[in-house]
Amino acid sequence: METVASPGRTLALLREKGLVPRKSRGQNFLVDSNIVRKIAAVAELNPYDIVVEIGPGLGALTQELAYRGGLVIAVEIDRDLLEVLRENLRDKGNVRLVAGDALKVNFDELVAGFLENAGGRLPTYKLVANLPYYITTPILMHLLTGKFRINLLVLMVQAEVGGRMLAAPGSKEYGALSIAVQYYTEAAAILKVPRTVFYPRPEVDSVVVKMRPRTTPPVQVDNEDFFFRVVRAAFNQRRKTLLNSLGGLGWERDLVLKAMTDAGIDPRRRGETLSIEEFARLSNALQRRVE
Ligand code: SAM
């Protein structure tokens, strides 16, 4: 079957179906089969793998995942595209197309629905996506915090978002997203992808980030919700000292100060300089003081 990932084929498909890529849905299609192969290779697929894809679009990546993997379950929000996908992938018996909003999908239930006869425990599965840019962070947070049985994530994101995901303490890009990504996964940037391989061409380059969800967190956190509240407060007003930004959560200054002393953290520091380990110590100490 013809490869979707070429400028000619993508344009022809859109023209044939009278479709115009929707900016509001983050539709930038991959038109370079070489890059598609490289992304799929990052997922290290074998014929037994179950792969979930978010936003299959016209099927450029889906084709390659279906070729390399076992079962491919693709969730697309745009019903016009689903029609094209059905046609494009009709010779791929191992692809299941699902209409839906990735933000609302319980991925474990989705996969379980296609394995009805498997019995027993749900197997782990991989998740691969060229993410729609307008909701990258919410989707990422859904995937990270959902406690799904995902054992590998391969996500293409805007280069700037990739920078924030992987940033180290003290850098401009370091923030709540860096901490969430690094707390829940072991993550690395694998491949830079220039804007020229998309149609329509976005204004920025992209990066493929590979993430392995951790089986145990890298630091000891007593209460994850509390930890992330502290993290978000610390980054909400980046220019303030920790003491002042945590005051924003409504606790007495004196209590916050004592918790900082307990945790061995100088109250004059700014949130953006704290490592994940220090945030964990601080949130554990704070929780003990305020509850
Ligand atoms: N995978 C295709 C490719 O690489 O050529 C398309 C990638 S395009 C950047 C993002 C895709 O995600 C589009 O097909 C878009 O319609 C779809 N999408 C946007 N929002 C979505 C959502 N909330 N849930 C599922 N798919 C979504």
pLDDT given for residue 142 in this prediction:
98
Ligand 1 site, CB within 6 A: 25-30, 54-57, 60-61, 75-78, 81, 101-103, 130, 132, 135
Q: Residue 86 contacts by C-beta under 8 Å, 6 or more apart in sequence? A: 97
pTM above 0.90, yes or no: yes
**Ligand 1: residue whose CA is nearest its atom 18:** 55
28 annotated as belonging to a binding site for a ligand: yes
Identify the CA nearest to 230 among candidates 261, 184, 276: 276
pLDDT given for residue 239 in this prediction:
83
- Rounded-to-integer distance, Cα 83 and Cα 87, Å: 7
Instruction: Note every long-range contact of 257-266, with CB atoms under 8 Å and residues 24 or more positions apart, other chains counting.
Output: 258/289, 259/285, 259/286, 259/288, 259/289, 259/290, 260/285, 262/288, 262/289
pLDDT given for residue 1 in this prediction:
65
Distance from the alpha carbon of residue 155 to the mean position of ligand 1, in angstroms: 12
- Rounded-to-integer distance, Cα 246 and Cα 244, Å: 6
pLDDT given for residue 270 in this prediction:
92
pLDDT given for residue 118 in this prediction:
63
Which atom of ligand 1 has the smallest separation from the CA of 60? 5
In the chain (291 residues long), the average pLDDT of successive 10-residue segments reads 92 96 97 98 97 98 97 98 93 96 98 82 96 97 97 98 98 97 98 98 98 97 96 89 88 92 94 96 95 81
**Ligand 1: residue whose CA is nearest its atom 12:** 55
pLDDT given for residue 291 in this prediction:
81
Which atom of ligand 1 has the smallest separation from the CA of 57? 14
- ipTM strictly over 0.85? yes
